[in-house]
Structure 1
Amino acid sequence: MRLRMGKDFVVYISHPDLAKTVFQYPYQEHVRVGLDIMEVYHKRTGTKKGLSLLQGEEWLALRRPAQEKMLKPTVVADYVPMIGNVTNDFVKRLRQQHTVTDLLEELFKYTTESVGMLCFNKRLGCLDSSPNTKLIKALEDMFTTMQQSFLLPFPTYKFFRTKMYTAFERSQQVLNEITHKEIEDQVMVLTKLKEEGKLDDYLSKDPNFMHSLLSDPRLSKEDVVGLITSLFGGGIDSTANGMVFVLTDLALNQDKQEILNQEIQQVLGDQQTVTKEHLSKMSYLKACVKESQRKVFPVLFGAARVTENDLVVGGYQIPKNMLVILNNMCMCNDERFYPNPKQYIPERWMRKYKDETIAKGKDYPFGFKPFGFGPRGCVGQRFAENEIYIGVAKIIQNFKISMPSGIKEVKHVNRVFTSPLDKVTVLLTERN
């Protein structure tokens, strides 16, 4: 369908086969749909844009090295033990709370600590008894004001420093201060180790994402700062919100939770360390995550593309420079592609599930693309997936989770990243 948005038109695609046509078109420019408030911020402050905002050759020059270091399974697997250590500390924190009154807030702390380890090779203290509230508030303010900017009927912040824009800029400044400080600290550590002849030994023990970027001749230090800042900010909110819906779906569907618990016990037993070999054997865990992402699609609508030439889709000609939104949120809840869409059925993603009708969604792969597709897909996808898999596996290994009496569903609101409408409370019962 075609909708007018302001003075422009937008085309929505709501069928997987037509989405395939748009996704697989041989794009050359890979134009990014802009985030206006971010564009305004960088223009006013003169700061370097992150990967998600760049276009053309400038984007490609940064995307290539980032992709090499974040999307290769063999590379990302090296970070599994690091995520596992953070998760173990998160489980210890949960042991002190039989009732978690704000699940999203707790998961923000977990994802901030995990992404911080990736970006800075350092623990940020978010799981301590006195967490880094300045950082957490800056992240909350950033995503809140970014969402508000989407809903404005007229973007007044483009012309005036409105209250909302000022709050957004302040949150960006806090994040920039933190990332610049952590980058400088890590550079000092690496430089000192190199001078002492201990760098190779240090790097052999744990992967170091920042060192891999700083030592890449294709990247300037400014490039590294921009890349790490965008990864750090973008990787926290999306993963935390995604985990909320996985855990609440399992809490509301105790039979599915028990099946997952049995798989975890068979693969992990009493082991507290999750390895890449363990993850490769937990197919039901991955199916549970996929099903939660299908039921509540993690991003607003889905991926978007700007047509570089006239494009024929489903017998209709879409003109050049038209914004096309692949409406995954709609497709993932369409009975034609995913029967019984309101039910939580992880089995629909299993290879040998006997009910072929329920499993027919596997025949429509372009209806479900939570991380996008192609060169403009999420560069942090594999790290985020491992973060969710390990976090959910460790929580279910240690706790039976349930919802308070009378809670039958968790309502959500469509923001940049789909979020719970209200605070989510879950009950934790320790397993033997």
Structure 2
Amino acid sequence: MYSVNRAMHLVRFCRPYPGLINKEVKVINTWSSHTASTSTVVRNDRSLPSEIKPFSAVPGPKGLYNVPFIGAALHFKPFTKYTANEINDLLTDMRKKYGDIFKIKFGKDYMVYINHPDDAKTILQAHYEVHKRISFDLSETLAEREKVNKGLILLNGKEWADLRKPTQEKMLRPAVVASYVPLIEKVTNDFVDNLKKKKQVDDLLWELNNYTIESVGMLCFNKRLGCLDEGTNSPAEVAVALRNIFDMLQKSFFMPLKMYLYFKTPFYKRFEQEGRKFMEVVSTETAIQNEFLTKLKKEGKLEEYLENEPNFMYSLLADGRLSEDQISSVVSDLFGAGIDSTANTLVFLLAQLALNPDKQAKLYDEIQQVVGNSRHLTKEHLAKMSYLKACLKESHRKIFPISFGVLRILESDLVVGGYQMPKNTVLAINNRSMAMDDRFYYRPTEFLPERWLRETTGDIAKSKEFPFAHKPFGFGPRACIGQRFAENEIFIAATKIVKNFHVSMPSDVKEIKTTLKIFTTPSEKIKMNFLERQ
């Protein structure tokens, strides 16, 4: 019964789609032959557009596995060796059995798994109106009931585009990103000072969550939230609310019956309470900033202020294209998504460096060569550290930041890998499977940042031939809008930590196990030692 329940939790991925009928089909001409694999794998033939196969021809489990709801349970214990938390192992084995494209019935509909970079490219390069992201229905329900603006995470189509355009104009300019380096460095210096006092932490993720709350808070609100203050054992109220929100969003994903969609369940009321706490902080800060902006305008000092003080929220308010409510929704998205994802990314990056001391030493040498005895990090320093960037890229490859990869729901028919995928089909780009596939990566189980260096050639550089196997921040118009800020935050933190400490973990830790949450998360608390360098 336990296995059936866990399997039925996966119903969250399902979306209805119309029956297979003759329709106009959108075809993106990216046909190519997949590289032969050295392992025994059933390959999908790359058909020509004139030989498009129907959806019914997509391979996958048959028979009882296709019984609605119940069939999904048969993939897991006690019927197989897999637990629900080991679904990525199941998907890897299915790729070996069925090929690069296969479908599994979860609930009453199918999810199609994509395991080749060429097919991932087809999906990611499609116009944003062809597909949409899988949304958080718990958040959508709250937004509709509270009558608040939906942010970039929940919107699709024209509404999404209208909100995205002015936001990315303010966020993606290199000069804007660079202007935050000194502010993030100050936060990082405080974090490093705390580590010098502690020397060892028993829960690295908790420590890094406090760090990312402070640094993302500087981007969103231009203020510190007090999570790194000496003597503070618990984070700010907004941080607690945010962590509860993410926990409840994760639980809602796995609920087989989502009664909160129809009435306010006790679970929904708790989420509503935490959501109000979080949005109250964002709305209050937005109002304060707006009031200050109005004052500067009246005094004729606004332009001078914005030239000397980076302030993302002020720049949006001054732009005038978005309402105060819309800006609040954008800021809440950035604040919420930026904390958990960045903290987990830093955990895995530091863990890989601890598990691979030779790579850590190489990174330290680069930091010493580029930064030397300079007291401050600059954008010029960060631009020169190619091995640091390679370490992050390799860490993302080994442990993809999104547990289930990139998920899309088709808004119109699309041909992928020679198969007609009908509207409303859920496509899952199986990044974890591709990351461990020796067709695309040389010695894929090893942590080899060198594979990403521009000067690298030979077998180890194989990954350069398949850029769409690795898109941790997405691609194109729907790419993560906070990517440059997140990367800078990670680069600054990693540089400061490795420059000041040799990081290590207990000798019995040989790998980092993960658990299924919205963002890939360690399944256990990670202990880390910070030995101060002399």
Pairwise TM-score range, normalised by the shorter structure: over 0.9
Matching residue within 450, 460, 467 for 1:347: 450
C-alpha separation in 2, matches of 1:174 and 1:27:
33
- Tell which deviates more after alignment, 340-349 or 276-285: 340-349
C-alpha separation in 2, matches of 1:27 and 1:192:
39
Matching residue within 371, 381, 385 for 2:487: 385
Matching residue within 18, 26, 38 for 2:127: 26
Map 1:35-114; keep pairs closer than 5 Å. Answer: 35-114=136-215
Deviation of 1:103 (Å): 0.7
C-alpha separation in 2, matches of 1:32 and 1:407:
36
Deviation of 1:37 (Å): 1.1
The superposition leaves residues 336-384 of structure 1 with CA deviations (integer Å, 9 ceiling, x where unpaired) of 2123222111111111224x22221111111101011111221111111
C-alpha separation in 2, matches of 1:199 and 1:311:
48
Does residue 270 of structure 1 match 2:373? yes
The superposition leaves residues 252-279 of structure 1 with CA deviations (integer Å, 9 ceiling, x where unpaired) of 1111000000000011112232111101
Q: State the SS of the aligned residue for 2:319.
A: coil
Deviation of 1:304 (Å): 2.4
The superposition leaves residues 284-320 of structure 1 with CA deviations (integer Å, 9 ceiling, x where unpaired) of 0001011111101000222223334332222222122
- Tell which deviates more after alignment, 185-194 or 366-375: 185-194
Mark the runs of 5 or more structure 2 residues left unpaired by the alignment.
Answer: 1-101
CA shift in 2, pair 1:227/1:16, >3 Å: same
Map 1:238-277; keep pairs closer than 5 Å. Answer: 238-277=341-380
Mark the runs of 5 or more structure 1 residues left unpaired by the alignment.
Answer: none
C-alpha contact 1:141 1:167 (8 A) present in aligned 2:
no
Matching residue within 520, 523, 526 for 1:424: 526
CA shift in 2, pair 1:163/1:425, >3 Å: farther
Residue aligning to 1:322? 425
Deviation of 1:408 (Å): 1.5
Residue aligning to 2:469? 367
Q: State the SS of the aligned residue for 2:473.
A: coil
Provide the aligned length of Structure 1 versus Structure 2. Answer: 431
Query: 1:161 corresponds to which letter in structure 2?
Result: K
Map 1:144-183; keep pairs closer than 5 Å. Answer: 144-183=247-286
C-alpha separation in 1, matches of 2:198 and 2:343:
18
Query: 1:216 corresponds to which letter in structure 2?
Result: D
Deviation of 1:196 (Å): 4.0
Q: What is the TM-score with the length of structure 2 in the denominator?
A: 0.78
Q: What is the TM-score with the length of structure 1 in the denominator?
A: 0.95
Q: State the SS of the aligned residue for 1:215.
A: helix
The superposition leaves residues 75-107 of structure 1 with CA deviations (integer Å, 9 ceiling, x where unpaired) of 212222221121111111211111111111111
C-alpha contact 2:407 2:426 (8 A) present in aligned 1:
yes
Matching residue within 385, 393, 403 for 2:505: 403
C-alpha contact 1:111 1:236 (8 A) present in aligned 2:
yes
Does residue 116 of structure 1 match 2:217? yes
C-alpha separation in 2, matches of 1:348 and 1:381:
22
C-alpha separation in 1, matches of 2:413 and 2:161:
24
Does residue 284 of structure 1 match 2:387? yes
Question: What is the identity percentage for the equivalent residue pairs of Structure 1 and Structure 2?
Answer: 53
C-alpha contact 2:118 2:468 (8 A) present in aligned 1:
yes
Query: 2:504 corresponds to which letter in structure 1?
Result: S
Query: 2:473 corresponds to which letter in structure 1?
Result: F
C-alpha separation in 2, matches of 1:424 and 1:174:
29
C-alpha contact 1:242 1:293 (8 A) present in aligned 2:
yes
